[in-house]
Structure 1
Amino acid sequence: MNPDLRIKSKEISEDSKRAPNRAMLRAVGFKDEDFKKPMIGIASTWSEVTPCNIHIDALAVAAKEGVQASGGAGLIFNTITVSDGISMGTAGMRYSLPSREVIADSIETVVGGENLDAFVAIGGCDKNMPGCLIAMARAEVPSVFVYGGTIKPGNLNGKDIDIVSVFEGVGQFNQGAIDEQELKKIECNACPGAGSCGGMYTANTMASAIEAMGMSMPGSSSNPAETEHKREDCHKAGEAVFNLLQKGIYPKDIMTKKAFENAITVVMALGGSTNAVLHLLAIAKAIGVDLNLDDFIRIQKRVPHIADLKPSGRYVMQDLHQAGGVQAVMKLLLQEGLLHGDCLTVTGNTLEENLRNAEGLVEGQTVIYPLSKALRKDGPLVVLRGNLAPSGAVAKVSGLKMTSLTGPAKVFDSEEEATDAVLKDQILAGDVLIIRYEGPKGGPGMPEMLSISGILVGKGLGKEVALLTDGRFSGGTHGLVVGHIAPEAQSGGPIAFVKNGDSITVDSENGELTLHVAAEELEERRKSWSPPPLFKKGVLGKYAHTVSCASAGAVTDDFTEEKEAVRL
């Protein structure tokens, strides 16, 4: 063959190597000009399984429009959600906390696998928010979080009601205080539309914390779900993430130790959910910030509780929105010297710069108290320690008149057994109700126990019985309840060795949780104890075998440290 006729091989350029990638993207609508733009993801948690997320598909589109308007190429993708309110009191609740890890893993996987340059994440139900923030910490690309927003309050007989009203209604019905028809009315009127549960429960707590941390747009955490404000939040987030990309601002630049302290401060001031402790510890672990229970104790002592919000107060998140919102509360706290104003935020400005021209609280509002007339002089989220919880436990004491109790233990190895005993009137005023083997490993999944706590309140025992568990409580729970007891029973924590009739003291004022049994006796009980077998199947099996202690955030990627270190 004539050498001159041979086809000479060409060196393939880097741009040419990308041709297959571009071909795939052309199929989803990319044009030539889009390949010159940064690819920015929109992580949507849209789902029809819960009102918290039913509207997020439209919000994701709004965020994409903000990205496109700024010069980015937007790509929407989805992740999962589990409805805590629907799964509460069922075996499904064991999947709730593990869903936080699934959400984080899946978002990190898409962002990394598709080589996205930045992303916006939009969350609704409780675990969406920490799941999204953990993913942002791991993905290490510019990112902004948007809260899907709170639900409107339901209304019955001229009074606002919500999902917690239904759980408490079950207890009232069991007690004979209301009939089945009245319970049905509560059920049918509690949740009137889209959005997350309305009180200062876990979703609204975490949304507020994330705004305080600087990872969401100013004012966005208290904007209700079904408003134009919420759509604007998403559009602005799309613009903001493009700005962060241009300026080279990453999550690690925003989620600093000071930023976490701001988040804890706002949670304390608002009287947020105990779950905030668990989630903030997990997010801090993901971003590499040294945060522990001692930080919560330190901030709790200096930040007053000033918000009259449910579950212990009168108002819901929509009322706070109308009173000026979380941003107005932050402005007040900054003026009082309780926030770090020099923290960077997703606007590219500092917290102080964001708040400088923000509106304050609406004149005449009654949701937020002046600091001089605070509901408590310190925060309502209290860390307890003692020989029953060497690694710590968490209680929410807002609205409590009885802050300590010493009584006999009534011990149950599952929530189902304990609930049955409550409904059969086997739990009496003065009892200390213990529910164990419900921790991260033992549950598995550390289920929330709004159902049983709501039934206790409905039966008039909410102020007369202490409820202790190595599991969790919903943000809607109130009463003398202590969760996150660590080490958990499954790991051989002292809660595993409690017997019926043992005397226990719960003292939330002094942060003490004491089992009045001699150390020698506990050691004898330990010798005759062996842990139940861990769950070994599917998602819950993976979770049970990898999850860390609750006092370390119940994370599943802690491979470098002892997971169940006991504080002695």
Structure 2
Amino acid sequence: MPQHTAPQKNEPVIIREQANPYRDCIQGLANQPITVVRLLRDAVNENPVVARDRKFNVPEIHDIVGRLVENRPRVAIIAGAPDHPAHLLDRPQALMAAIRIWEQGGVPFLFHVPVICDGTAQNNIGQSYSLVSRNNTAAAVNITFEGHSYHAAYVIAGCDKSPAAVVAGLAAADLARAHRGDQAPVWAVFAPSHVLKGGEIPDGTRRLLNKIADDADHAGHDDLGGDIRENMRYILQCTSDEAFAGLLERARLIGIIDSATERRVLDELAAATCDSKGGICAFNGTGNSSRTMLAAFGLTPPELELLTDVPPFAAVAVGIDALFSAFNKPEYAISNLLKRNFANFVRVHNATGSSSNMLLHLPFMMRYAGFDITIDDYQDVRTTTPVPEIFAHSLTENRDTFVLAQQMAEGKNRGMESIYRVLSDLGVEMDLDAPTILGKSWAERIANLDNPVDLSLGDKSVIRATPVRQRSGVDVITGSFFENCAVKTSGMSDHLLSHFNDHVFIVRYYENEHLCNADFAAADMVDRLMKTEGVDPELIAAIVKRNGGDVTDGTSSHDMLAQGLLSFAFVIGGQGPQAYGMPEMFAPSQNLRHHRILEASSMLITDGRYSGVTKGACIGHMVPEAFVGGGIGHLQNGDVLRLDLTKLTLDWLDRDAFVAGQEIVANPADLPTRAPLFAERQHRMINRQQDIAASNVMDHVSNAARGIVPDVVDRRAVNPWR
């Protein structure tokens, strides 16, 4: 595939298409030029050095009118709202992009989209607005892009749901234009926001935390003391703050600290968390998984892939120039890059241990682009082309994403190009002929990359040429009482993967995460579990025996839990997209991960979502969700579940038969006796749904396996991707 180069300034690009509303409709030609003048005037005033070095002058109105009539490239710069930390530095980059677009003969425009910070929305009603914001942002991007008839986009991509939303909105425009037939396709280049440098626990706060841990030890709660010390090893991020919140609540409830001390520590941690430059948090959550996604799809130049600050003008120019080189070449349109690189991204996603949220966002984007893709296609690629884990990402050993960005800036790796090279060298069947927005195939981009990772980094390297382990990524699980769900294998240690393979659990059911969090923090947690409805000595004995233990040896309930012989499945139902907007169950997952006893013994199951930074045994995205009659909504306390991580199955077992020594697989939704229970729950789900403004209830959407897209988007996704 030949490399395309930016056109010379004396060869202006004219977009080849029949439709040009700025020529054929006077109103747009009358309205829009003043927005361009203001944008370029701001660009000069706020970037005086760049403007001076390039001898850049703000054009006259008639110059802009002339370009619009000629059908020069109309390029939308899409940025985020400054109330999100990832978008604090968008403006200087956007204004530099505007200068370069005009220099290259195009017409720049700027618009912003709202972006919810998932951290801010965590564990409160905001999470019921988070996922729907993705769909609404996709619509908003599409509305503005199509309504103002732009040709291309330079996207300053943030974190959480926003990058996938912008991709989807642009891809939807591309699909509609292909149907109309009189317009050029949509081209886009993405510049992910810089990485947020993790904070540090202040010395005084650290001393106080150490004292709390010591006091917990002396009070006979060494598990809590150990959990606090373990969390102190992490870089300070909103995620570790959430874990501290759970740990300090436990300390207060057992009388180690008072509420004033709890508040003081949390406030001190919060004040020390975020660097003033903002950025995408340094953990490998949905934000940085989205960064990985954009690069893996070939939408991001290396110069813009991993930043720690505002990019220099030269880097922004690379992105703009890539766009101008792609114009009038449909093979570089956004939908074609998605199609050609879909399987590549699935492999990269697994190799980098990225966010389980991407199993929602990947089919979401592809279906907006018109491709009939579900998580079955994801699992098919994953199964057909298994990949090892090559990311040694760590928040405790100085290998977070900020460090990865530093290593790339120092020339110690080439970001996504290094990942493609490593996987190719390891024999993974990457499609190296797939195009990228740079006008090069992946084969051309990595041809001269003999050493994808600087060997001098040793164990400090985040990207590894030698696999960290053979099993990684996110698995799709099927079972007797549901169609599919997701488990983040990369979030489980080798010990947990082995320990929970062919393992049985007792169900403890919750209708919201707050009740589950309360149990996790309770001083009498073990007693509560033992008093779960339906739990009796016979069931406990059968569970422990099946998991390789023996209740006759006098082992206490506490120790059976700590040894992982007595195991519970904490099921949080009624969190699906139609029920409650599919909030993340991040707080309970963090509380599980940072609770020595629970992590060893138990797992979380939900029809809600899990965060990209989730660790431990967490299963989510269950389809069908409880709200529409899924089996998860028919589970009850004391039920028995069997997890098999080799066969990738999760089954409901008949309780009475299990106690009698038989494992009969069935679906609790088939039991007539469960109908009244489900009816009561559904009534409460309908009532609880009114917590959410009617304008943002996710109604008439596909299920999680199909990306949770509007029904009309789902119906139009009929094109094959292979």
Q: TM-score, normalised by structure 1?
A: 0.88
> In the alignment, what sits opposite 1:245?
327
User: Is the aligned partner of 1:464 residue 2:593?
Assistant: no
Counterpart Cα distance in 2 of 1:508 and 1:419: 26
Distance 1:471 1:520 in 2: 20
Distance 1:167 1:129 in 2: 24
Q: Relative to 1, partners in 2 of residues 1:51 and 1:101: Cα closer, same or farther, differing over 3 Å?
A: same
Map 1:370-449 onto structure 2 (within 5 A). Answer: 370=464, 372=466, 374-400=467-493, 401-403=495-497, 404=500, 405-425=503-523, 426=525, 429=561, 430-443=567-580, 445-449=581-585
Q: Aligned residue for 1:77?
A: 111
The residue number in structure 2 matching 1:546 is 700
1:335 match: 425
Residues 1:144 and 2:185 are matched in the alignment: no
| Distance verdict in 2 for CA 1:562–1:538, change over 3 Å | farther
Q: Which amino acid aligns with 1:450?
A: F
- Note the alpha carbon deviations across 1:516-540, whole angstroms, 9 max, x for none: 1363753114543333338469765
How much does 1:168 deviate?
1.1
Shift of 1:108: 0.5
CA RMSD of aligned residues (A): 2.8
Indicate the residue corresponding to 2:33 in structure 1.
26
Q: Supply the distance in 2 between the matched residues of 1:371 and 1:16 (Cα, whole angstroms).
A: 54
Contact 1:310–1:476 (8 Å) recurs in 2: no
* Worse-superposed segment, 472-481 or 178-187: 178-187
CA distance in 2, matches of 1:162, 1:547: 33
Pick from 296, 301, 307: which aligns with 1:223? 307
Q: Distance in 2 between matches of 1:143 and 1:520?
A: 46
Aligned counterpart, 2:347: 265
How far residue 334 of structure 1 moved from its aligned partner, in angstroms, is: 2.9
State how far apart, in whole Å, the 1-side matches of 2:149 and 2:716 are: 33
2:577 counterpart SS class:
coil
| Contact 1:466–1:506 under 8 Å retained in 2 | no
Give the 5 Å matches for 1:172-191: 172-176=247-251, 180=262, 181-191=264-274
Say which SS state the counterpart of residue 155 (structure 1) adopts.
coil
Superposed counterparts of 1:164-179, under 5 Å? 164-176=239-251
* Higher alpha-carbon deviation: 325-334 or 177-186: 177-186
CA contact under 8 A between 1:46 and 1:55: conserved in structure 2? Answer: no
Q: Does 1:112 align with 2:202?
A: no
Q: Deviations over 1:180-230 (max 9, x none)?
A: 354444322222231011111111011101211112223533223x2536x
Q: Which moved more, 1:95-104 or 1:143-152?
A: 143-152
Paired with 2:406 and 2:573, the residues of 1 have a C-alpha distance of 41
For the residues of structure 2 that align with 1:560 and 1:439, how far apart are their CA atoms?
18
- Which stretch of structure 1 is more off in the superposition, 485-494 or 327-336? 327-336
- Give the stretch that moved more between structures: 445-454 or 432-441: 445-454
2:631–2:668 Cα contact (<8 Å) kept: no
Larger Rg: 2
The TM-score, its normalising length taken from structure 2, stands at 0.70
Q: Which residue of 2 aligns with 1:4?
A: none
Shift of 1:311: 6.3
Alignment of 1:37-52 (within 5 A): 37-48=72-83, 50-52=84-86
Task: Classify 1:300/1:368 alpha carbon distance in 2 versus 1 (closer, same or farther; 3 Å).
Answer: farther
Work out the CA distance in 1 between the residues paired with 2:622 and 2:703.
10
SS at match of 1:82: coil
Structure 2 SS opposite 1:243: helix
Aligned partner of 1:402: which letter? L
Give 1:5's aligned residue.
none
Counterpart position of 2:238 = 163
Q: Are residues 265 and 283 of structure 1, via their aligned partners in 2, closer, same or farther at CA, if it must alter by over 3 Å?
A: same
| Counterpart amino acid of residue 389 in structure 1 | F
Residue of structure 2 aligned with 1:361, choices 443, 453, 466: 453
Partner SS, residue 195 of structure 1:
coil
- Farther-moved stretch of structure 1 (329-338 vs 89-98): 329-338
Question: 1:382-438: CA deviations, max 9, x gaps?
Answer: 111111332333334434222214221110111122222222253654211000110
Q: Is the 8 A contact 1:463 1:480 kept in 2?
A: no
Q: Is 1:322 aligned to 2:459, yes or no?
A: no
Mapping 1:469-480, distance limit 5 Å: 469-480=606-617
Q: Does the Cα contact within 8 Å between 2:21 and 2:149 map onto a contact in 1?
A: no
* Cross-structure match for 2:653: 516
Q: Pick closer, same or farther for the CA change 1:64–1:422 going to 2, 3 Å.
A: same
Structure 1 unaligned spans of 5+: 1-12, 564-568
Distance across 2 between alignment mates of 1:69 and 1:562 = 39
1:536–1:542: 8 Å Cα contact kept in structure 2?
no
The percentage of counterpart residues that share the same residue type is 23
* Structure that is richer in helix per residue: 2
